[in-house]
Amino acid sequence: MIQVTKPFLPPKEEYLELVHQIWERNWLTNDGPVLRQLQEELKDYLGVANLWVVANGTLAIQIALKSLDIHGKVLTTPFSYVATTSSLVWEGIEPVFVDIDTNTFNIDPSKIEDKIDEETTAILATHCFGNPCEIDQIERIAKRHNLKVIYDAAHCFGTKYKGESVFNFGDISTVSFHATKLFHTVEGGAIISKNETISKRAFYHRNFGHDGPEKFRGVGINGKNSELHSAMGLVNLKHIDAVLDRREKMVSRYMNSLQKSGLKFQKITENAQPNFAYFPVLFENEKTTLQVKAALEECGIYPRRYFYPSLSNLNYTKGDTPVSDRISSQILCLPIYHDLSENEIDLVVSIILKTI
């Protein structure tokens, strides 16, 4: 069976070595030494100033919204994982959908200003599939209208924009370290902000508001992560360059073999260095997309309709986003994971070519 993705697992002994140490220490959570070491190593690797490891990428978004005191309406993308929209609704904020760009699949900056009204407080945009948004344009619009910017950078471990980590942009960036992400802590995520004051707020929010054992700063939540999860992160970080390198090679092989197929690929944003976290392919129409999906499934290969449905069509949302609706109906993310072999890629490609 070939799934769309498979978690990267490091050599077991490397993980167990850290587990032994955790056992000896009997310190399992609440900002333990492994979590703190992971935070330091991540800051160093990514080149970011302030980063807190949290329980998952969804709580990271929710804590980001609280830390920036976002309320009212937020302009957001309809083409993302459901957590981008549900986090807003969960926090009592109204998502206002701005349609996406046909080529990059990211929020279309030229359509943002039309949707701003007096209740709008922020923009929450996803760097879709690890491909950065039009950051400069978004920042200009945000400045002009005094809006905060949160980037849902769940897919973006290793992505760079203008030569630095994409996490350095916006008021806050959030990332997911879920097991299916190319860097993971089994479950996990992080909140990153260049701004010390905002980052401090997130620090308190993610731990019930605790400022010491008996003092609290504001309303918090339990967004902490554990020593066992952090140990997985520390070990995986040692292998991340090999993981990123392998991704790029797999994507090149897919692209080269599908070059003459007439299929459309995601356009990489200018000045961006993507991390090749996913390999999305756009088919001519929904019928062909579903035919290809069925043909692959018949051979035990399971691509995913990332992202379907468009988030403007959930049962608790509404929005007029024809581009997102169309892309959602025509897209498949093809299998990509560390030990996917070249033969397996060739098999996926041959079934696609035969079906279209």
Where does this chain bind ligand PLP (CB under 6 A)? 56-58, 80-81, 83-84, 126, 152, 154-155, 176, 178, 189
Q: Which residue has the tokens 């200003």?
A: 113
Smaller CB separation from ligand PLP, 228 or 258: 228
For residue 41, the minimal CB distance to ligand PLP (Å) is 19
Smaller CB separation from ligand PLP, 58 or 173: 58
CB 133 within 8 A of CB 110: no
For residue 80, the minimal CB distance to ligand PLP (Å) is 5
Smaller CB separation from ligand PLP, 84 or 275: 84
Smaller CB separation from ligand PLP, 148 or 229: 229
Residues 6+ apart with CB under 8 A from 289: 283, 305, 329, 330, 331, 332
Joined together, the tokens standing for residue 246 give: 């392998």
For residue 240, the minimal CB distance to ligand PLP (Å) is 17
For residue 193, the minimal CB distance to ligand PLP (Å) is 17
φ, ψ of residue 40 to 5 degrees: the values are -65, -45
Smaller CB separation from ligand PLP, 311 or 348: 311
Question: Quick check: helix, strand or coil at residue 8?
Answer: coil
Distance from C-alpha of 197 to C-alpha of 302, rounded to nearest angstrom? 44
Beta-ladder partners of 109:
none
Joined together, the tokens standing for residue 238 give: 């040692």
Beta-ladder partners of 125:
151
Distance from C-alpha of 305 to C-alpha of 63, rounded to nearest angstrom? 28
Smaller CB separation from ligand PLP, 189 or 303: 189
For residue 135, the minimal CB distance to ligand PLP (Å) is 16
Joined together, the tokens standing for residue 345 give: 């890629």
CA-based torsion, 173, 85, 156, 63: positive or negative: positive
Three state DSSP letters for 177-244: CCCCCCCCCCCCEEEECCCHHHHHHHHHHCECCECCCCCECCCCCECCCCHHHHHHHHHHHHCHHHHH
Question: Quick check: helix, strand or coil at residue 141?
Answer: helix
The residue whose Cβ lies closest to ligand PLP is 57
For residue 172, the minimal CB distance to ligand PLP (Å) is 13
For residue 222, the minimal CB distance to ligand PLP (Å) is 14
CA distances from 146 to 136, 142, 341, 342 (A): 15, 6, 49, 49
Distance from C-alpha of 352 to C-alpha of 354, rounded to nearest angstrom? 5
Smaller CB separation from ligand PLP, 154 or 198: 154
For residue 152, the minimal CB distance to ligand PLP (Å) is 5
Joined together, the tokens standing for residue 155 give: 């897919």
For residue 94, the minimal CB distance to ligand PLP (Å) is 19
Q: Is the backbone peptide bond immediately before 307 cis, with ω within 30 degrees of 0?
A: yes
Smaller CB separation from ligand PLP, 127 or 246: 127
Smaller CB separation from ligand PLP, 207 or 258: 207
For residue 122, the minimal CB distance to ligand PLP (Å) is 16
